[in-house]
Amino acid sequence: MNEPKPPAVSTAPETVDENRLIAERRAKLTALRAQGCAYPNEFRRDALAADLHSTYGEYDAAWFEANPVQVRVGGRMMFKRVMGKASFATLADRSGAIQLFLQESALGTGYQAFKDYDVGDILGARGQLFRTKTGELSVRVIGLKLLAKALRPLPDKWHGLSDTETRYRMRYVDLVMNEASRAVFRTRSAIVRFIATTSRRTKSFSDAFKLRDTD
């Protein structure tokens, strides 16, 4: 009697979609390379998101109108919402996140280029701080540059990266998506620096870690 054959393994829809997205992004990178500007390095930011919030978080819309503040920010685009001739995006750097407000009237052809960017891309933006109608501190962008193309889509923004095994196996994605994980690594780095500084006064740095490992 013939044993029943196992069911055919079907390709999961999410895998097919991810492969398609990766192929599309690679095609975009190929086009950028053909233009000779795939990885520009002349952009220099002058502010971090957390510093902007701490320095200007208490000022209202009228203050920004009377006191223009020009900034240059850079980071990974974590959110994008295109609404015709105006769009919003969220840019995340190592300190936090800041909202961008982009208009076709201000960016010209740069706005059309932005519409082709993907969530996960690394961008550099320059513009003026202002308050939106909802009170969010934002940058009204007058200049935008794609600094690095992300070839793989980020995890779903609502569910994030919650599976523990996946987080450990793909730590680089975990650090992109989870602020708590970034905080853990920053704390660990601070502890290691403290141990290194202290051990130089008493014993070698390697001896300090040998002592830790034998605890």
- What are the backbone dihedrals phi and psi of residue 58, each rounded to the nearest 5 degrees, phi first? -95, -5
CATH architecture of 13-148: Beta Barrel (2.40)
Rounded CA-CA distance 30/78 in Å is 23
Alpha helices in the chain (DSSP H): 13-35, 49-56, 61-66, 104-107, 109-115, 164-169, 171-177, 179-202, 205-213
When mean pLDDT is compared across 72-76, 157-161, 179-183, the lowest value belongs to: 157-161
Where exactly are the structural domains of the chain?
A: 13-148, 164-213
Q: 94-137, pLDDT tens digit by residue?
A: 899 999 999 999 999 999 999 999 999 999 999 999 999 999 99
Rounded CA-CA distance 155/210 in Å is 38
Q: 48-102, pLDDT tens digit by residue?
A: 999 999 999 999 999 999 999 999 999 999 999 999 999 999 999 989 999 999 9
